Structure 1
Amino acid sequence: MKQIIKIIGNPKIFVYTLIWLMVLVVLGTLAQRDIGLYASQQKYFSANITWLGNIIPAPGGRITMVVILVNLTFMVLFKHNLWKIKKIGVLIMHIGGLLLLIGGGLTAIFSSEGNMVIEEGAQSNYVDDYHNMELAVINTSNEALDEYTVFDQPILGKGNILSHENLNFNIEIMSYLKNCEPLKRTAPAGIQYRGMLKNFMLSELKPEKENSRNRPGITYRITNSGSSIDGIYGIFFGQSVSQTAVINNQNYEFIIRKKRTYLPFAIELLDFKKVLHAGTGIAKSYSSEVNLIENGIPRRVLIEMNEPLRHKGYTFFQASFIEGLEGETTVLAAVKNYGRLFPYISSIIMSIGLLLHLLSSLPKLLRKIPGVSPS
């Protein structure tokens, strides 16, 4: 057991994994030119395994960071020469590094980010994810309220069959396209195609470097409805006329949209203000005066470019705005980061450790200087 602990806590492992992490940073940075920032991050830093040249498997960013975390933990817990008064500064620096890694892990696994788009006079209680999509099936039969059944992007893969107790039919995913465009058919469609696909088809496009510029699409087959509505349908993101179907006397609407995270509160935009650079139409600064509504009680807050709103773990930044004929719309970047405080805490701890280490080493350094004796 001691031998295993010695191997896992070997400082050489830390050095080698740190070198490999530098290699990943270089590869990921260079790859951004060809595949974009988001795809590069997913391939090299958020992946457990990355493929070099699409042939050779290698440890991805996550596994590399886990190895560093385990190695550093074993060094702190089982390296006995660290647990001495003379080494207290080094020990504290190691603990600070551990906290930094733990905070990074919490951020990578649990954090979420997106945006909230609110028109003047309107309010919103959800955040749209920047990257992930979802398929929403909306039952609009009840005039008083709509019933939503939502399927997340990970289960929208080809061949998957979606079912739910709210639906009296099944949805078989024929294809999920990361980027596509609708093209008018040059020949009559088969009898199995319904809705938009009678006159159009979804043509797959190469994904854009900027993930936000992609337009995902889905072709799916409705089955087991017990009616003539069974067939193949298609939808795409940003579709101006949504796909509808009447199935067993129930009205359904099918939409592919950004994944929504609903909040336990709402934000109402009261007024949006912008200040322009003199003599130009370029915005110098902009701000949003909002009502934070929770449990029916509003609280007025001003969100500015360098003064975000923080509430219940969420941080709302003034990111952008949209000007329209009917008024202005604010775009708030929304971030929920469970590890937000860890970098600050770990930096303070490592600074204290470094200071203690320098102070403890000072007498030894002074003794090496001729004519100087430490007091």
Structure 2
Amino acid sequence: MRRFLSSPIALFTSLRLTVVLIVLSILLVVAATLDQVNLGLLAVQEKYLRAFIVFGRLPGTNIAVPLFPGGYLIGGLLLLNLIAAHVYRFRFSWRSAGVQLTHAGLILLLFGELLTGLWQRESLLQLREGETRRYMEDFQRNELVIIDTSGEKTDRVVSIPEALLVGRGAIQDPALPFQLRVTDYAPNAELQMRSQSPHAPPSPATAGVGPRIAVQRLKQVSKSDERRVPAAFVEITAAHSLGTWLVSPGLAEPQSFTHEGRTYQIGMRAKRYYVPYSVTLLQVTHDTYPGSDIPKNFASRVRVRSDDRRDDREVTIFMNNPLRYRGLTFYQHQMNKAEGFTGLQVVRNPSWVLPYVSSAMMGLGLAVQFGLHLIGFVRRRPAGNRRALAT
């Protein structure tokens, strides 16, 4: 029994395991860097770094086979290895205080990276001068929306995640008096008028603009500066069919239909994140160096007003000077001075402070350990040598 218990402990506290995991992490980073040319940054992160196992496909088939441990698996094992070694191998003493602090900082760094991968969210706030918005858009995720526009003052919106469209099945929401059935779905597509694609196959759509539009399937987008445009055909049924509709972010406007005396709109758009405050763009500034077109400064003057009336202030956002407000960070990302347009990248990362704390802990730990060794070295020298060093 003791051997059974001591074997896992010896394994997870082993320095050899630490070395193996570090080598595997280096190989993983090298492979991800080389494959970034083919896949792009976003796809590489999902395939290599934010996965437990890296899968590949057999040549000429769609069979996925495991190839290599992913970033989550290597990082998790390394975190477990550090914690186990910290608990079972090290005993706290002032002589090892620096090592303990350095290890604790490294553990916190790995744990912070895990939280960042799980919790971080990026979106975009696009505004024109004078425009006010209270939501951000995620251009990597989309949502199918059904909007009841029959209300006098407000619209009622039912949002359905894009992930539910992949299965091409029935969707029933308690807030809707009808059922949705996804008959076809393309994760990335190009939309063209049928007059420009005379040889396109017949459209499954029977209502709205769908019958006049041809859908061409494209490869998945993987680069961070490209946007994926999905498309789906959705049939609306109640007592009878209300038609099959083409929905896609590539369509300029949602499409309208009526049911039981109420007016609805159906469409697909970038996923929205609503916040309890509004942001108004007051002014955009684009300065260049005299006598050239080289950008000198991009800045957006915005007004932030909370719903509870506690905050009402103006802030200037420019490069390296973001706005931090209620857990979100607003960075200057895009700018078009001629059109009075700005794009603010909005990042939510509750664990953003952990890398700074862990780096400070590791730096302090190394300094303490070096200082303790230096003091011990000086004390072990003969008195005559110490006086010679002092002079």
TM-score w.r.t. the length of structure 1 is 0.90
1:150 aligned residue (159, 184, 190)? 159
Contact preservation (8 Å) 1:225, 1:248: no
Partner of 2:36: 32
CA distance in 2, matches of 1:4, 1:210: 42
2-side partners of 1:65 and 1:156: how far apart? 33
Deviations 1:210-248 (Å, cap 9, x if unpaired)? Answer: 25533422323324311341x432122131243322233
2:14 pairs with 1:4: no
Are positions 1:106 and 2:118 aligned together?
Answer: no
Question: In structure 2, what is the Cα distance between the partners aligned to 1:224 and 1:64?
Answer: 48
Partner of 2:216: 203
CA offsets, 1:235-294, max 9 Å, x none? 221312433222333322222221111112221111111212223344321211111101
1:300 and 1:192, CA in 2 relative to 1: closer, same or farther beyond 3 A? Answer: closer
| Distance in structure 1 (CA, Å) of the matches to 2:234 and 2:317 | 45
Offset, 1:151: 1.2
Match of 1:61 among 71, 91, 97: 71
Deviation track 1:336-364 (CA, whole Å, cap 9, x = no partner) reads 11111111111111111101111222255
Structure 2 counterpart of 1:305: 319
Partner in structure 2 of residue 14 of structure 1: 18
Is contact 2:204–2:244 with CA below 8 Å preserved after alignment? no
Structure 1 residues 127 and 167: CA distance shift in structure 2, 3 A:
same
Q: How does 1:171-186 map to 2 (within 5 A)?
A: 171-183=180-192, 184=194, 186=198
What CA distance in whole angstroms lies between the structure 1 residues aligned with 2:357 and 2:49?
24
Gap change, CA 1:211 and 1:226, over 3 Å in 2: farther
Q: Quick check: 1:136–1:148 contact (8 Å CA) kept in 2?
A: yes
Residue 332 of structure 1: SS of its match in structure 2? strand
Question: Is residue 318 from structure 1 mapped to residue 332 from structure 2 by the alignment?
Answer: yes
Contact 1:158-1:174 within 8 A present in 2 as well: no
What is the aligned partner in structure 1 of residue 235 from structure 2?
222
Letter in 1 for 2:209: M
Given the superposition, is the C-alpha separation of residues 221 and 317 from structure 1 closer, same or farther in structure 2, using an over 3 Å criterion? closer
Contact map agreement 2:53 2:66 (CA 8 A) in 1: no
RMSD: 2.5
What is the match of residue 284 of structure 2? 272
Deviations 1:131-174 (A, max 9, x none): 11111111112232111100123222132322211211222223
Which of 364, 368, 372 aligns to 1:360? It is 372
CA shift, 1:64, in A, is: 1.4
Q: Which residue of 1 aligns with 2:270?
A: 258
The DSSP-based 3-state class of the residue aligned with 1:195 is coil
Q: Secondary structure at the match of 1:144?
A: coil
CA shift digits 1:114-137 (9 cap, x unpaired): 111111112111111141111111
Aligned to 2:83: 73
Distance 1:282 1:252 in 2: 48
Residues 1:189 and 1:130: Cα distance change in structure 2 (over 3 Å)? closer
Cα gap change, 1:288/1:28 in structure 2, threshold over 3 Å: closer, same or farther?
A: same
- Amino acid in structure 2 at the alignment position of 1:20: L
User: Which residue of structure 1 lines up, in the alignment, with residue 345 of structure 2?
Assistant: 333
Q: Secondary structure at the match of 1:233?
A: strand
**Partner Cα distance (1:211, 1:366) in 2:** 55
Per the alignment, do residues 131 and 96 of structure 1 end up closer, same or farther by CA in structure 2, a change over 3 Å counting? same
Q: Check the 8 A contact 2:122/2:345 in 1, yes or no.
A: yes
- Counterparts of residues 31-50 of structure 1 (less than 5 Å): 31-50=35-54
- Structure 1 residue ranges (4+ consecutive) displaced by more than 6 angstroms after TM superposition: 367-371
Q: CA deviation at 1:365?
A: 4.5
Please state how far the C-alpha of 1:335 moved relative to its aligned partner: 0.8
CA distance in 1, matches of 2:349, 2:385: 51
**Aligned pair in 2 of structure 1 residues 215, 87: CA closer, same or farther (>3 Å)?**
closer
Query: How far off is 1:16 after superposition?
Result: 1.1
Given residue 247 of structure 2, which amino acid in structure 1 is its aligned partner? I
C-alpha separation in 2, matches of 1:36 and 1:214: 12
* Aligned amino acid, residue 28 of structure 1: A
* Distance of 2:153 and 2:260 partners within structure 1: 20
Query: If the length of structure 2 is used for normalisation, what is the TM-score?
Result: 0.87
* 8 A contact 1:93–1:349 mirrored in 2: yes
Report percent identity of matched pairs.
27
Find the residue that maps to 2:340 and give its secondary structure: strand
Confirm whether residue 131 of structure 1 aligns to residue 172 of structure 2: no
What's the CA shift for 1:323?
Answer: 4.3
Contact 1:189–1:199 (Cα < 8 Å) also in 2: no
Residue range with higher mean Cα deviation, 104-113 or 236-245: 236-245
Q: Please, which runs of 5 or more residues in structure 1 have no aligned partner?
A: none
Whole-Å Cα distance in 1 between the matches of residues 336 and 266 of structure 2?
A: 27
Three-state SS of the structure 1 residue aligned to 2:209 is: helix
Distance change >3 Å, CA 277–CA 192, structure 1 → 2 = closer
